[in-house]
Amino acid sequence: MPITAFTVPEKYSYQNGFQSYHETEAVKGALPIGANSPQKPPYGLYAEKLSGTAFTAPRHENLQTWLYRIIPAAAHSQFVSYERQIPGLTGESLEDMVQIPNQLRWDPFEIDENVDWLHSLKLISGSGSPTTKTGLGIYIFSAGKDMDPRHAFYSADGDFLIVPQHGVLDIQTELGHILARPNEIVVIPRGIRYRVSLPDGPVRGYILELYQGHFQLPELGPIGSNGLANTRDFQAPVAAYEEEANAWSLYAKFNNNLFTAQQNHSPFDVVAWHGVYYPYKYDLGRFNVIGSTSFDHPDPSIYTVLTGPSDHLGTAIADFVIFPPRWLVQEDTFRPPWYHRNTMSEFMGLIHGDYDAKTGGGFRPAGASLHNVMSAHGPDSSTHEGASNSELVPRKIGAGSMAFMFESCLMLGVSRWGLKTCEKVQSDYNDESWVGLKSHFRPPKEENGKGGGASKAV
Ligand SMILES: O=C(O)Cc1cc(O)ccc1O
Ligand SMILES: [Fe+2]
């Protein structure tokens, strides 16, 4: 169910709509009328353009926003390499990742209470490169401290799709405030500066960074004009600003390295903005689930919330797919996911509850799994046993659960941190899940010594 019974302070006000043209002003009259860059913008503000696509991108893809701010973003010292190492982020690189066909599963990642959001980012998997704006990166975060009140961060590498698993993220962005709780997601597009504090204690979760393009809503095809994640349920912040002449540090993630620069004014000084390039959040409880009401288990693409398309229609660099609570009613059907091998790779996480393909207990909230290109997988043996014998009455599954998948057309590499340093890889994943699967093959008895081409194994 959507999050409804939660009162939020007024600073968290939102405007609704996915890639809708929004305009918002924290001070009435701060937006110029009928022009973007007048000789003197209202109230002595500077006009600044933020481009999320090429200037010349076609209109339906073009993502730009005009900001009206107290001091331009350019007013900072030169960036220098950030000397402090962030284990699992700096020092890891997409080029050094290993590609292996093994099915991988991770125990839950622990919360590190000693670090803030920025210092908690761990690159676990990915493919491509931010330098060529290709592919994606997958990160784990777990933090127990607010970011310093005068630190701000941005990634030049791509769009962050943040999946909180534990705790509340208070995200102050240049374009306004966003509060994100587990079962909600936040997208912070490339370049937007923000600061994360933790109003409710430690946090943990997953991030998909799209180095290429931007997230879109999937096509609905024969589903029609509504369904899945509905456009109006995406929420963008309203303009909020502060004016502060103190010493600030700015951190930039640039090809997965960190750089820092200094400035003497708050980066959160945008008084008004208008455009279609902005951060937003979405409550996964609002997802309208479509499913089979006759027979067979459908492809999980029916659960796609957002897609990061490649240049090939229907093939994603990264799909964000969820497995919400839903009714299963199919007749004469093996209802959990089938056994399969997929040309796409599948990285999965669990926000809370359980996942219907893995009842054996090894896939736990805050853990993860990776089934790479053509790596065979499917229900574990206990799930197979249960689902092949259960009475097929209508059944609600996943109450209180939310699993998700980052699905990519690319072969995903795994970082040194992901494979070794984190010490969470389960060595018994195959044994626990599939190696014990038994043969149930009972061919009909041969009549007159004829028929059947089966050879007997010796
Ligand atoms: O492997 C998985 O658990 C994810 C998945 C779910 C499903 O319902 C169908 C295919 C699929 O890859
Ligand atoms: Fe799968």
The more confidently predicted of residues 87 and 199 is: 199
For atom 8 of ligand 1, the residue with the nearest CA is 337
Nearest-angstrom CA–CA distance, 268 and 176: 8
Q: Which residues are annotated as a binding site for homogentisate?
A: 346, 355, 377
User: Does the pLDDT at position 20 exceed 80?
Assistant: yes
User: Does the pLDDT at position 216 exceed 50?
Assistant: yes
The pLDDT confidence band at residue 93, using thresholds 50, 70 and 90, is confident
Q: How far apart are the CA of 105 and the centre of ligand 1, in A?
A: 15
Residue where the block lists tokens 């939310």: 402
The mean per-residue pLDDT over the stretch 71-94 comes to 90
The pLDDT confidence band at residue 449, using thresholds 50, 70 and 90, is low
Written as six digits, the tokens of 209 are 């960074």
Q: What is the model's pTM?
A: 0.96
Q: What is the DSSP string of 43-98?
A: GGPEEEEEESS-TTS-TTT--EEEEEESS-TT-S---EE--S--TTTTT--STT-B
Q: How far apart are the CA of 340 and the centre of ligand 1, in A?
A: 8
Instruction: Say what the pLDDT of residue 440 is.
Output: 95
Q: Which ligand is nearest to the CA of 348?
A: 1
Mutate to test the pocket of ligand 1, among 405, 406, 407, 434 (most ligand atoms within 8 A of CB): 405
- What does the DSSP 8-state code read for residue 26? S
pLDDT digits (tens, 9 = 90+) for 299-337: 999 999 999 999 999 999 999 999 999 999 999 999 999
Nearest-angstrom CA–CA distance, 206 and 321: 13
Nearest-angstrom CA–CA distance, 150 and 410: 38
Q: Residues 303, 346: contact at Cβ < 8 Å?
A: no
Q: What percentage of the chain carries pLDDT values higher than 90?
A: 90
Considering 297, 312, 371, 384, which one is annotated as catalytic? 297
pLDDT, the chain, mean: 94
Residue 372 burial (CB count, 10 A): 24
**Atom in ligand 1 nearest the alpha carbon of residue 336:** 8
Which residue type occupies 33?
I
The mean per-residue pLDDT over the stretch 170-199 comes to 98
Nearest-angstrom CA–CA distance, 404 and 184: 12
Residue where the block lists tokens 């509340």: 168
**Atom in ligand 1 nearest the alpha carbon of residue 299:** 9
pLDDT digits (tens, 9 = 90+) for 223-245: 999 999 999 999 999 999 999 88
Nearest-angstrom CA–CA distance, 349 and 160: 16
297 is catalytic: yes
* CATH code for the part of the protein at 285-435: 2.60.120.10
Instruction: Say what the pLDDT of residue 130 is.
Output: 96
Instruction: Say what the pLDDT of residue 458 is.
Output: 45
Instruction: Say what the pLDDT of residue 295 is.
Output: 98
The mean per-residue pLDDT over the stretch 251-267 comes to 96
pLDDT digits (tens, 9 = 90+) for 116-173: 999 999 999 999 999 999 999 999 999 999 999 999 999 999 999 999 999 999 999 9
Mutate to test the pocket of ligand 1, among 340, 342, 345 (most ligand atoms within 8 A of CB): 340
The pLDDT confidence band at residue 453, using thresholds 50, 70 and 90, is low
Q: How far apart are the CA of 300 and the centre of ligand 1, in A?
A: 6
Residues with CB under 6 A from ligand 1: 300, 337, 340, 342, 346, 357, 371, 377, 405
Q: How far apart are the CA of 372 and the centre of ligand 2, in A?
A: 9
Least confident of 262-266, 285-289, 380-384: 380-384
Q: In terms of DSSP H, where are the helices of 362-403?
A: 381-389
- What ranges do the domains of the chain cover? 285-435
* Angle 133-139-140 from CA coordinates, rounded to 5°: 170
**Atom in ligand 1 nearest the alpha carbon of residue 371:** 1
Q: How far apart are the CA of 303 and the centre of ligand 1, in A?
A: 10
For the CA atoms of 431, 400, 236, 219, the dihedral, rounded to the nearest 10 degrees, stands at 60
